[in-house]
Amino acid sequence: MSYDSKRDAHTKLVLRMADKQGIDLQELVLRADVSAEEFEEAVDRCLGCTAPDACKCLLDTAGPKLNLPDYCRNEELFNGLRSK
């Protein structure tokens, strides 16, 4: 898998996980409540994850809400955005 396609896959994982947390991350970036740099850092953290396949499977089988898995490297970001 090329770096660009891997990055695209992790971008989708970040957006889907945010959605399951009740966070519209794309909207927050568009409104500048989350900077493009913060978003890219979230994708970078996801790229470093050792369990992206488990995450994808979890997202594919979850209902509308999902507790963050223990291994999620974006827990701090998502928790901070949920509390706003």
pLDDT tens string 1-40: 798 899 999 999 999 999 999 999 999 999 999 999 999 9
CA distance 29 to 39: 8
Nearest of 37, 35, 47, 53 to residue 74 by alpha carbon = 47
Residue 75 pLDDT grade (very low, low, confident, very high; cuts 50, 70, 90): very high
Q: For the purposes of burial, counting CB atoms within 10 Å of the CB of 46, is it exposed (0-12), middle (13-18) or buried (19 or more)?
A: buried
Residue 73 pLDDT grade (very low, low, confident, very high; cuts 50, 70, 90): very high
> Do residues 46 and 74 touch, judged by C-beta distance below 8 A?
yes
pLDDT surpasses 70 at 79: yes
pLDDT surpasses 70 at 84: no
CA distance 76 to 84: 13
Tell me: the pLDDT tens digits for 31-55? 999 999 999 999 999 999 999 999 9
Query: Residue 35: what pLDDT?
Result: 97
> Do residues 39 and 46 touch, judged by C-beta distance below 8 A?
no
